[in-house]
Amino acid sequence: MALDNKNNMSVGKSHYQDSSFRQLTGRAEYIDDIPLSENTLHGALILSEIPSGMITSIETEKAKKFDPSITVITAKDIPGRNDIAPIFADEPIFAEKEVTYVGQPIGLIVASSMERARAAVNEVKIVYKKDKTPILDLDLAFKKKNFFLKPIHFERGKANEQIRQAPHKLEGSFSMGGQDHFYLETHIALAIPHENSEFTIWSSTQHPTEVQHGVSNVLNIPAAKISSKVRRLGGGFGGKESQSTIYAAIAALGAYILDKPVKLRLNRKDDMASSGKRHDFEVKYSVGFNKKGKIKGLDITLLSNAGNVCDLSAPVMSRALTHLDNCYSFKDFTARGYICKTNTVSNTAFRGFGGPQGMLAIETILERVSRFLEIDLDELRHENYYSLKNGIKTPYGQIVKNIKIEKMINEMETFAGLEKRKLLVEKFNRSQINKNQPYRKGIAFMPAKFGISFNKVSLNQAGALVHVYTDGSVRLNHGGTEMGQGLFIKVAQVVSECFNIPIDYVHISGTNTDEVPNTSATAASSGSDINGMAAWKAATVIKRRMLKHASKVFQKPPSSIEFKNGLILSGNKSMTFKELAFSCWENRISLSSTGFYKTPKISWDQEKFKGSPYFYFTWGAAVSEAIIDIDTGESRILRADIIQDCGSSLNPLIDRGQIEGGFIQGIGWLTCEELYYSPDGKLLTLGPSTYKIPGSRDVPPEFNIKLLENTPNEEKTIFRSKAVGEPPLLLSISHFLALKNAISMASETSNADLLNAPATPSKILAAVHNDHSM
Residues 450 to 489: which contact another protein by CB under 8 A?
Answer: 483-486
Q: What is the DSSP letter of 726?
A: S
Nearer to another protein, 181 or 368 (CB): 181
The DSSP 8-state label assigned to residue 504 in this structure reads G
Single out the segment in contact with another protein by CB under 8 A; choices: 245-253, 375-383, 467-475, 683-691: 683-691
Annotate 586-605 with b (16+ C-beta within 10 A) or e (fewer): eeebebebbbebebeebebe
Cβ closest to another protein, residue 79 vs residue 695: 695
Q: For helices 355-373 and 313-321, what crossing angle results, to 10°? A: 30
d(CA 58, CA 105): 12
Site for another protein in 179-208 (CB under 8 A): 181-186
As measured in angstroms, the least distance from the Cβ of 660 to another protein is 4
Q: Figure out which of the listed residues 76, 588, 697, 748 binds another protein, where binding follows CB under 8 A.
A: 697
Is 593 or 658 the residue whose CB approaches another protein more closely? 658
Label the pairing between strands 567-570 and 561-564: antiparallel
Binding mask of the shown chain, residues 598 to 637, with x at each position contacting another protein by CB under 8 A: -----------------------------xxxxxxxxxx-
What binding mask, one character per residue, do residues 384-423 give for another protein by CB under 8 A, x or -? ----------------------------------------
Out of 54, 392, 503, 774, which residue is the one contacting another protein (CB under 8 A)? 774
Minimum CB distance to another protein smaller for 186 or for 200: 186
Candidates 93-101, 318-326, 602-610, 697-705; binding stretch for another protein (CB under 8 A): 697-705
Q: Which is nearer to another protein, 328 or 691 (CB)?
A: 691
What Å distances lie between residue 346 and 90, 294, 342, 769, CA to CA? 11, 38, 8, 35
Nearer to another protein, 449 or 636 (CB): 636
Q: Is 293 helix (H, G, I), strand (E, B) or coil?
A: coil
Which phi and psi (to 5°) does residue 474 adopt?
Answer: -125, 130
Decide: 346 and 308 in contact? Cβ < 8 Å: yes
Q: How far is the CB of 675 from another protein (least distance, A)?
A: 9
Residues 492-531 that bind another protein (CB under 8 A): none
Least Å from the CB of residue 553 to another protein: 40
Least distance to another protein, CB of residue 634, Å: 6
Helix (H) or strand (E) holding 230: strand 226-230
Q: How many CA atoms lie within 13 A of 486 on its CB side?
A: 23
Sign of the alpha-carbon torsion through 140, 107, 232, 21: negative
Piece in contact with another protein (CB under 8 A), picked from 73-81, 311-319, 371-379, 654-662 = 654-662
Minimum gap (Å) between residue 275 Cβ and another protein: 15
Residue 374 identity: E
* Minimum CB distance to another protein, residue 389 (Å): 37
Q: How far is the CB of 208 from another protein (least distance, A)?
A: 17
| Dihedral, 80, 86, 89, 91 alpha carbons, nearest 10 | -80
Question: 689 to each of 269, 694, 714, 763, how far by Cα in Å?
Answer: 11, 12, 46, 20
Residues 288, 292, 294, 298, Cα dihedral to 10°: 20
3-state per-residue secondary structure call for 642-683: EEECCECCCCHHHHHHHHHHHHHHHHHHHCCCCCCECCCCCE
Residues 279-338 that bind another protein (CB under 8 A): none
Burial 72-95 (b: 16+ CB within 10 A, else e): bbbbebbebbbbbbbbeeebbbbb
Range list of H helices, 150-299 = 159-165, 208-219, 244-258, 268-274
Q: CB atoms < 10 A from the CB of 34, how many?
A: 15
Q: Which string of x and - marks every residue 538-577 that binds another protein (by CB under 8 A)?
A: ----------------------------------------
Name the β-bridge partners of 109.
44, 72
Angle at the Cα of 574 from the Cα atoms of 572 and 580, rounded to 5 degrees: 155
DSSP string, 512-526: ETTTS-SPPPS-TT-
**Whole-angstrom Cα distance, residue 121 to residue 43?**
10
Residues 663-682 that bind another protein (CB under 8 A): 663-665, 672, 674, 676
Cα 379 to chain center, whole Å? 32
Distance between CA 169 and CA 199 in Å, rounded?
61
Distance (Å, whole) CA 583 – CA 598: 33
CA–CA distance, 472 with 495 (Å, rounded to integer): 13
Site for another protein in 123-162 (CB under 8 A): none
- Of 196 and 696, nearer to another protein (C-beta) is 696
Q: How far is the CB of 121 from another protein (least distance, A)?
A: 10
Q: Which of 579, 702, 726, 748 is catalytic?
A: 726
Among 89, 224, 423, 684, binds another protein (CB under 8 A): 684
| Pairing between β-strand 474-478 and β-strand 506-508 as defined by DSSP bridges | parallel
Q: Which 426-445 residues touch another protein, going by CB under 8 A? A: 436-439
- The span of 153-161, 299-307, 532-540, 653-661 binding another protein (CB under 8 A) equals 653-661
CB of 425 to another protein, least distance (A): 14
Nearer to another protein, 268 or 706 (CB): 268
Residues within window 742-771 making contact with another protein, judged by CB under 8 A: 760-762, 765-766, 769, 771
Interface with another protein in residues 24-83 (CB under 8 A):
24-30, 32-33, 35, 66
**Which of 685, 706, 712, 770: binder of another protein (CB under 8 A)?**
685
- What span, in angstroms and rounded, lies between the C-alpha atoms of 5 and 493? 12
Sole binder of another protein in the list 20, 390, 461, 509 (CB under 8 A): 20
Residue choice 379, 701, 709, 714 for contact with another protein (CB under 8 A): 701
CB nearer another protein, residue 510 or residue 712: 510
Nearer to another protein, 268 or 456 (CB): 268
Judged by beta carbon, residue 48 or residue 206, the one nearer another protein is 206
Q: State which of positions 204-263 bind another protein (CB under 8 A).
A: 232-237
Edge-first strand order for the sheet with 635-644 is: 439-452, 616-629, 635-644, 702-707
Q: Which is nearer to another protein, 115 or 171 (CB)?
A: 115
Least distance CB 293 / another protein (angstroms): 31
Binding another protein by CB under 8 A: which of 8, 39, 56, 113? 113
* Position among 160, 175, 267, 473 found at the interface with another protein (CB under 8 A): 267
Question: Which residue of 157, 391, 661, 712 would you call a contact of another protein, by CB under 8 A?
Answer: 661
Q: In this complex, which beta carbon is closest to another protein, that of residue 26 or of residue 557?
A: 26
Taking contact as CB under 8 A, which single stretch among the options 190-198, 244-252, 606-614, 657-665 is the one that binds another protein? 657-665
Smallest distance, another protein to C-beta of residue 238, A: 12
Q: Identify the three-state secondary structure at position 103.
A: coil
CB of 59 to another protein, least distance (A): 18
Residue 352-391 contact track with another protein, rule CB under 8 A, x = bound: ----------------------------------------
Q: How many residues bind another protein (CB under 8 A)?
A: 94
Residue 601 Rama label (left phi>0; alpha psi -120 to 50; beta): left
Does 748 qualify as catalytic in the annotation? Answer: no
Beta strands in 429-470 (DSSP E): 439-452, 461-468
**Using CB under 8 A, which of 5, 9, 12, 17 touches another protein?**
17
Displacement of CA 376 from its chain's centroid (Å): 32
Tell me the catalytic residues.
726
